[in-house]
Every structure is written in C-alpha cells, then in structure tokens.
Structure 1
Amino acid sequence: MAQPRYKQLVDRLAADIRAGRLRPGTRLPTHRDLAVREGLALVTATRVYAELQEMGLVSGETGRGTFVKEALPRGQGIDLSAWSADTVDLSFNYPSSPGQTDLLRVALRQLAVAGDLESLLRYQPHGGREHERATAARHLASRGLPATVETTLLVSGAQHGLTTAAMALLEPGDVVAVDALTYPGFKLAAEANRLELVPIPAAGRGPDLGALAALCKQRRVRAVYVMPTLHNPLGWVMSATRCRDLVAIARHHGLILIEDGAYAFLAEGAPPPLASLAPETTVYVSSLSKSVATGLRVGFVCAPSAWIPKLERAIRATTWNTPAIMTAIGCGWMEDGTVARLEEEKRRDAAMRQGLVADILGPLKRVGHPCSYFVWLPLAQEVRADEVAMALMRERVSVSTALPFSTSAHVPHAIRLAIGSVDLATLTRSLETVARVIAERTY
C-alpha cells in the first residue's frame, strides 16, 4: 500500500535532519508556507510538524516558529550520569564532604563487631525495624515534623518514597497538580502509576495558589506534589503565609499533599513543613541522599497513621525492605550526630559554591537560593537551550535543559546547573565555560 504523501514528507524531513542537511537551530517554513510549498492542506502541514516534534526532531515555539532541535544526550536530566570519564557533570548533584569515606570505614568496622550482625542478613519489617523507625522519627521531629514510630517508615531513598506514596495513595487516572517546573523523578513516578499531571504556574516564590484553586473547581484534583522548602529546580522557599494558604486549599478540596523535603536541610530558618500544619493530609518524603551520600539509599516517609498500612504494602511490592546494612549505618549516623554535622558542612559548602556562581556568571540572569546546590539560568530570547547544552557537551560539560523539569506544553529556554558534584577548581573552570558559551550566543 502506498504511503500517504504527508508521511513521505515526514520521512524526508526526518532524514534531512538526521543526516545533518537541516542543521540544528534551522528555522523551518511556517505551517502555511509548508502547505503552499508541498501542496498540502494547512491542517496536514500542521500534522507533519506535530509528528516531527513527537519524534524529538523539531520544537515548535509560540511566536518564534518551528526549529530543528539539537540531538541532546540520552536522559536530558532524568537518566543522569557523566557521559564520559572526562566530562564534568553539572547535571546531577551528589554532594560529598571531606572525610566521608573514612566515616564509612569506621561505620563498617563498628558494624562488624555489633552483636546483632546476623539479623542484618534476614528480611526486615517492610517499614523498618521499630528502633530504626524511632531513630528516623526523632530525626524528622528535629525538623519540626509530627513524626512518631507509628507515622514514620523507612524507604530506599526519596525517589522510592515518592513512588510508594503514588502507588499507595493514588489510583491510575488521578489528577495531581504539580509545579510547571518540577522534579523529574516525580514525573517518572507519575508515569509509572499512570497519573495525570496538571501544571501550576509559578508566582514569585512558590506556586500560583489562585491557579490551583481555580483548577480544583474545574477538575477533580486528587493530590498536590510540592517542594515548599528549597524547590528543585527554582530554589524557592515558600513563606509561612503561602504554606498556610496552600493547606487551606488542600483541606477545602480534600487534597493529599505530597511534600518533598529532599533539599530542605539546606535552608535554615525556613517556615515549618506542611506536614506540621496539616498532618492529617500530608505525606512527607525526604532522605539522606543529599545530606549524607547518594549511595546511602535510606529515606523517610512520614504520613498519617491511617495511611501507613497502604504505604507498607507498597514498600513490600517494590523492595520488601530497605537494605539492612545501609539502614543500620544511616541510623547510627543520625544517632551520633554525624548527619547533623554533615548537613552543617554542606550548608557552608553550598553557600560557598553559590558565591562562585555569582562571581563568575556575573550579569547572567539567575534563579536560585543562596545555599542550594543548583542554579537555574533563564536564557535570552534569541538563545536556544538545546544548542547551549550541546555546545557545552562538546566542551565536556554536561548540564540539564528545562525539558526534564517541565510539565507544561511550553518548555522554557533555560538550563539548570548542579554545582555540588565536582571540586571547586573544576567548578570554577566549568562555570567560566558556561558563561563563555552563553555569551557567544547572546546578542
């Protein structure tokens, strides 16, 4: 059977893009001009560009046109890793403090002579052993959370906590309100659980709560995923007033609040967590990944006691229990003050790195927090994020574009720099490269 003519055009344009005959950044004809040139109906020309966009070959930008995209590396900030041994990774944060390796050696030696070592080789309770849950609860309570043994569970990192919350508390097809720019890991959890994410625009230092209230009147919203303290990627800390207003909306509409506190330890003096304002409708998720080490897959979920059995079943369905050895080490470090000390060191380290960002990037527009491990760089109107990202990749610097963070049809031209994963000398050189590459494309 002969292929439809518009499909032939799609294949021809796709082949030209892949072969480099249409170079990245090339502006393609308008929908109307393409229709006239190829003898197509306007709606068919629109369909051609829609299929190319679905293939990841072009991007349509309101008011600017349709452009050939750069072929960004796999992942674009979701499957995050350095692309080669000589690539500087500014796409993913795994902050570390000096001496952490020695801390691990000491912890392993102490564990080796512990009296209950054999118990670590057995299955554990799904939400953690009672004394470990008690340790985690005390850790969370020190952050202002209403955490008890009965309301606290151990999970394999914050990503696992978010996934189990979605599995346990939501149904396929449920509508979840999220920030228009949000953590890519929650997007993956929502996709796996077939949830519908609806974006809420930003309004200053937090989500537009008026837009959320309006959405709740139009749709049956089931939950809100929110990062009130040190939002990733925008770095905001919501005010106490805005937190109370969000809680009021949640109570009025019967919403579940999924509160992500993965980076909250970096923001001193922040308002109390949402879970302390509305413990009956909030599930709070955090971990030791950023505050201690990403390889220490120990996280926490604090939730109303009525939700705990559902969450335990989700843990059983995914991991059965957290790795016992890592949990023992993590709990030991929470108890002896090591976690608190590492968090203080990382707050100072993040502030110093943000100082470098300010010094080197200078006049470039930046969005962030003075003690965070990332910075958001909105680009000038004439600058394309995928082109910047690929130019930096050629310079052996990996960054994230806005695409993995975006939940709306409009993806802003911006890049996110993760500044916590490299030494200061490397960070300095890499920031200088970022500043130069952006300056070369700005006019």
Structure 2
Amino acid sequence: MPAARYKRLVDHLAEQIRAGALPPGTRLPTHRSLARQEQFALTTASRVYAELESMGLVSAETGRGTFVRETSVPAGHGIDQSPTAPGMCDLNFNYPELPEQAELLRDALRQLASAGDLDALLRYQPHAGRRHERAIIAGHLGTRGLAVSAEQVLLVSGAQHGLTVALMSQLKAGDVIAADALTYPGFKAIAHALQLEVLPLPPDDNGPDLAALDALCQRRKVRALYCMPTLHNPLGWVMGRGQRKQLAALARKHDLLLIEDAAYAFLAVDPPAPLYNFAPERTLYVSGFSKSVATGLRVGYLVAPVSRIANLERAIRATAWNTPAMLTRITCDWITDGTVQQLEQAKRRDAAARQQCARRVLHGLPWHGHPNSYFLWLPLPATVRAEQVVSALLQRKVSVSSAAPFAVGDHRPQAIRLALGSLDKARLESALLLVKEVIDAAACGALG
C-alpha cells in the first residue's frame, strides 16, 4: 500500500475520532475486516491501528478488539495518579490526614528547636541512617511481628524511594520481574525507568495465582516477584498464612527475590506475619510513614538480609545520599512517644468509617476492598467502559482512576478505583453519590 494512502487512512480515522463522528467506546473493525475493506495487507491494517494507539486515540484490548478512547480525559485522570486541579473532588489520589496532625507537627518542631544535638541534623548522615534511629525502626517493626536487628534496617526517603533502591540495586535492565496483573502504579513507573520486563500474574483468592507463578517461572527466567501480601493496592486482599508459606517455597524453588510492599499494612488488624518471616534470606520488606502519618513525611524503611545491605546502601548513596535528618528525627521521636501508634489506630478507624460510607452509598454495585482500607475497586457493568465513566465524572468535578494505571500487560479491565482518603467525609459522600449516579446512567445507556 503506498505510503500516501496509508497515511491518509490514519489521518481520516483520527479526524473522525476527534470530531466525534466515532464516539468514545466505538468498536472499530477487526484488523482483518479493515484490511479487506480497504484492500490492503493485514500487516498494514495492524500498522494503522498501532499509529492511532500511539496517538492516544484508540486502545487495543486482548480478546475484545480495538476501541475509540475518550480523548477529553486530560493527563492525570484515568491515565496516571496525579494531584487534581483546585475545586475537584479527588477520588483518584490518597493522602489521608487527620485534623490534629498539624498541631502535632508544631509541637514536634518546638521540641526539635530545643534539642541539644540540633547541629548534628545539619550534617550528612550515614547512607543507611544513624544506627540508633535504625534501632527505633526495628523496634517499631517488632510490634508488627517482624523481628529484625538495626543492621537489617535501612532508612529511605519514603516507600517509593525504598522500592527504587530495592529494584535498582538487585536487578538490571532486561531482567524479568513478576507482579500482580493489577498492581501499584508507582512500582510500574520504577520498573519502566529501570527497563525491567514486568509479567502479570492473574489473581486467585486473596492473592496471586501461585500455580500461574510456578508455570511462569518454568517458562521464563524470572528474577523477582513484587507483591503486597498485606492489604493489596488496589484490590484490598490480605494473603493468608498458608499462601505465604507456599509463596516462600516457590521463591526458594525458583530462586526468586521477593519484594514485599507494606505501605498499607498498618490498616489491617491482626494480619498474618509478614512474608519476610517466611523467607528472610530472600525478601526485601519496604514501607514508610506517608500513609500512616502524613504524605509529606518522606521517611521510609527497607528491611533486608545482611548479605544484601551493602548493595542497597550504594543505591541509597546514588539516589539520595541519606534521608532528610530532621524528618527522620521527628518520625523516630513520634515512634518513641507513641504518636505513630495513635495515628495508625485513628486512621484505621477513619478508613473503616469511609469504607462503610462507600459501601452504603454504592449499594448494588460490585466491589473489591478491605473493610479498613482507603480505597475501593469497582468492576463496571459489561456494557460500560471506564473511560466513559472517568470523563463523565470529570465533567461533574469528580476525579477517579480507571484500571489503566494499575494494569500490568495488555489486559485492562473495565473498572475504576476510588481513593477514599483525601476528601472530608461530607464531600466524600457527595462525590460517591455522583459516582453511583454516573455508573447507573451509563449502564442504562442514558449517560449524556
């Protein structure tokens, strides 16, 4: 097919989509049908759709076909997790905060100002953190069933930095890492930046399908597994003790590194012991205080076998040198005086109340979630497309996320994820009512 004719077809379809002649959600002809209709090769039909997809105008879904995308959805809404514009009801990004936190910070800063060793906070810190502060974190982890020494704890600038340090120090470009088919978008961003190949694992009951993991490891050389065994984001599951034991056994069988993300683990009441306990020689445990205390408190921690500490320290040096000394000091003081524990308990109650509100307002819709979590996953009715819902809600000043940021691989389920922790409770209920209204209208074909 001459290049001029091929380009004209791409331009014609793009113009129809942008003009609304092919509205969002329209299923385009199959590759074979388009090739037959236009009388050119199948590879050229595939190339046409590939160009439209690269322009952001269509999306290809395995087993379903090629669909026109909702082009009115701006960047950051349904495509990525980003703070929303002023006046928007944010159900897209979680930054749970309690009213008393600002006053706690004022008190902490006053106490810090009168500390005798204040000048020490103005200097470079050891890359892994000061030993006495690492010991405080180790003691904090002991209350969660994770008995580790200070030497096994490294301080990082938030859990996201901890994940970056873990991946860049233990893996190299081209390595294969497995992850849940729906997973934390921040992990995907790091893996992409480090040129790792991420392969999806289908879900089983309250965890990844371990038989699928076993089969995958027999087909491919998988180096690591990224997982969230205690309070998965976005599905809210908590893996059982038996599943954790099986996963640890599989990791030993296939020599897998396990990267355990525990960012939301504090919300679960009496969960099984961390995965780290089942395979301590091959697990990196990553978490922080952004969700349990405040998102602006960029302090996290990484627990590792002693044999891996040196490589992890080098990665901290390369990326941040050391954590902010003053924030680390405040965090450790709050652990010591019980403030962190009080905030975690208060946020568990707050999250539970928000979950109850969401489930009451969204009654009749299917959902996946944990009773204490700050998010809810809503699969949409078979006839409803996520981009359609995201766009309609944006017009009503409500921001939600589609499945796209969470999906690993080509399959993107028609679902939305609701973050419940960023609005006050009155605005949360109003926003959720609009979500229910829009989904119901879409299911009836009455969404304008």
Q: Using structure 1 for the length normalisation, give the TM-score.
A: 0.97
One-letter identity of the residue aligned with 1:58: V
Query: Are 1:278 and 2:279 matched, yes or no?
Result: yes
Identity %: 60
> Cα distance 1:214–1:69, how it changes in 2: closer, same or farther (>3 A)?
same
- 1:46 aligned partner: 46
- 1:382, 1:222 → 2: CA distance? 39
- 1:439 aligned partner: 440
- 1:301, 1:211 → 2: CA distance? 28
3-state secondary structure, aligned to 2:443: coil
- 1:172, 1:46 → 2: CA distance? 29
Output aligned runs, 1:86-125, within 5 Å: 86-125=87-126
Displacement of 1:6? 1.9
- 2:139, 2:413 → 1: CA distance? 41
- 1:403 aligned partner: 404
Query: Are 1:158 and 2:159 matched, yes or no?
Result: yes
Output aligned runs, 1:29-44, within 5 Å: 29-44=29-44
Output aligned runs, 1:355-394, within 5 Å: 355-394=356-395
Displacement of 1:154? 0.5
Contact 1:154–1:298 at 8 Å: present in 2 too?
A: yes
The farther-off stretch of 152-161 and 7-16 is: 7-16
- 2:384, 2:80 → 1: CA distance? 25
Displacement of 1:146? 2.8
- 1:198 aligned partner: 199
Contact 2:263–2:288 at 8 Å: present in 1 too?
A: yes
Displacement of 1:4? 4.3
- 2:146, 2:351 → 1: CA distance? 24
Displacement of 1:408? 1.9
Output aligned runs, 1:4-403, within 5 Å: 4-62=4-62, 64-71=64-71, 72-76=73-77, 79-403=80-404
- 1:197, 1:346 → 2: CA distance? 33
- 1:78, 1:437 → 2: CA distance? 19
- State the Cα deviation string for residues 89-113 of structure 1 (Å, max 9, x = none): 1111111112000000000000001
3-state secondary structure, aligned to 1:368: coil
3-state secondary structure, aligned to 1:326: helix
3-state secondary structure, aligned to 2:207: coil
The farther-off stretch of 55-64 and 287-296 is: 55-64
- 1:164, 1:29 → 2: CA distance? 45
Displacement of 1:400? 0.6
What CA RMSD, in Å, does the superposition of the two structures yield over aligned residues? 1.4
Displacement of 1:76? 4.2
- State the Cα deviation string for residues 184-235 of structure 1 (Å, max 9, x = none): 0111111111111010100121000000001111111100001000000000
3-state secondary structure, aligned to 1:181: coil
Contact 2:276–2:284 at 8 Å: present in 1 too?
A: yes
- 1:10, 1:313 → 2: CA distance? 49
How many residues align? The count is 442
- 1:196, 1:31 → 2: CA distance? 27
The farther-off stretch of 252-261 and 30-39 is: 30-39
Displacement of 1:30? 3.1
- 1:254, 1:408 → 2: CA distance? 24
Displacement of 1:391? 0.5
Displacement of 1:77? 5.9
- 1:332, 1:421 → 2: CA distance? 26
3-state secondary structure, aligned to 2:203: coil
Displacement of 1:358? 1.2
Contact 1:167–1:314 at 8 Å: present in 2 too?
A: yes
Displacement of 1:131? 1.0
Displacement of 1:306? 0.9
Displacement of 1:172? 1.1
3-state secondary structure, aligned to 2:291: coil
One-letter identity of the residue aligned with 1:296: L
- 1:194, 1:65 → 2: CA distance? 28
Contact 2:61–2:410 at 8 Å: present in 1 too?
A: no
Q: Using structure 2 for the length normalisation, give the TM-score.
A: 0.96
- State the Cα deviation string for residues 373-400 of structure 1 (Å, max 9, x = none): 0000001111000110011011100011
Q: Which runs of 5+ in 1 are unaligned?
A: none
- 2:296, 2:80 → 1: CA distance? 16
Displacement of 1:78? 7.0
- 1:29, 1:165 → 2: CA distance? 44
- State the Cα deviation string for residues 329-383 of structure 1 (Å, max 9, x = none): 1111011100000000010111111110111000100001000000000011110
Contact 1:78–1:184 at 8 Å: present in 2 too?
A: no
Displacement of 1:62? 4.5
- State the Cα deviation string for residues 59-116 of structure 1 (Å, max 9, x = none): 2335543221012321346753343211011111111112000000000000001011
> Cα distance 1:30–1:219, how it changes in 2: closer, same or farther (>3 A)?
closer
Displacement of 1:126? 0.7
Contact 1:77–1:92 at 8 Å: present in 2 too?
A: no
One-letter identity of the residue aligned with 2:18: R
One-letter identity of the residue aligned with 1:38: E
- 2:211, 2:181 → 1: CA distance? 14
> Cα distance 1:217–1:30, how it changes in 2: closer, same or farther (>3 A)?
closer
One-letter identity of the residue aligned with 1:347: R
- 1:168, 1:285 → 2: CA distance? 14
- 2:104, 2:229 → 1: CA distance? 32
Contact 2:81–2:405 at 8 Å: present in 1 too?
A: no
- 1:389, 1:306 → 2: CA distance? 46
- 1:231, 1:186 → 2: CA distance? 13
Contact 2:88–2:398 at 8 Å: present in 1 too?
A: yes
- 2:342, 2:242 → 1: CA distance? 31
3-state secondary structure, aligned to 1:322: coil
- State the Cα deviation string for residues 295-354 of structure 1 (Å, max 9, x = none): 000001000011111111100100111111111111110111000000000101111111
Displacement of 1:18? 2.9
